[in-house]
Structure 1
């Protein structure tokens, strides 16, 4: 478990349907913001806003990829694995665990694919 963002902010963020949809969509495979906007039938500005919020909370990671033409683009992947909410006398406490992926291995794999 790791430190969680403030409970009020976290619960408000995860109360947003687009934020939840982005996390679900990027749980298995990374996606670009454009692909997310298309998949969610959402405005790109909405997707970028939620990406910023989710990344700031530590729930989404960003990696830069390069396509066959040498263009760089960002892909996003969910980091949130588990969220626990506990009610205490002082209020709510959150416990968050993240999926720690070896981003270096993923980048090398993508680079190797680009070199082929």
Structure 2
């Protein structure tokens, strides 16, 4: 989760029906916006708004690919494996679990322990 993203913003994002639909689709299969438009029967502006919102909160990532005709396009993938939303003492907490390689996980753990 981005440091700038508040818990309320994440909850609002995953609370949006179209954002959840887009996220579920790309979690099954990486897709371009055009593929999502065809598969989900949503308008292109709706797709792009939801992709932007999901990226803003670091829930998806993209990569640029080159089509056979030489044009560039982006393919979107889900950026996490699972998420847990908990409520404790009237406060929500969100934990997003990402698949990281071993050196990244070690660095994150080291940083969390306060070692620099």
* Pairwise TM-score range, normalised by the shorter structure: 0.7 to 0.9
Verify: 1:59 aligned to 2:59, yes or no: yes
What residue is the counterpart of 1:96 in the other structure?
Answer: 96
Instruction: Note the aligned Cα RMSD (angstroms).
Output: 2.0
TM-score (norm 1): 0.76
Distance in 1 between residues matched to 2:48 and 2:100, nearest whole Å = 23
Check 1:37–1:69 CA distance in 2 against 1; reply closer, same or farther (3 A cut). Answer: same
Check 1:55–1:100 CA distance in 2 against 1; reply closer, same or farther (3 A cut). Answer: farther
- What's the secondary structure of 1:26's corresponding residue? helix
Distance in 2 between residues matched to 1:28 and 1:43, nearest whole Å = 20
Check 1:54–1:100 CA distance in 2 against 1; reply closer, same or farther (3 A cut). Answer: farther
How many pairs were matched up? Answer: 100
What residue is the counterpart of 1:25 in the other structure?
Answer: 25
- What's the secondary structure of 1:80's corresponding residue? coil
- What's the secondary structure of 1:77's corresponding residue? strand
Give the unaligned 5+ runs of structure 2: 102-116
Give the unaligned 5+ runs of structure 1: 102-116
Cα deviation, 1:35-91, whole Å, max 9, x if unaligned, reads 111111111101100000101111111100001121111110111221111212251
- What's the secondary structure of 1:70's corresponding residue? coil
Q: Is the 8 A contact 2:2 2:58 kept in 1?
A: no
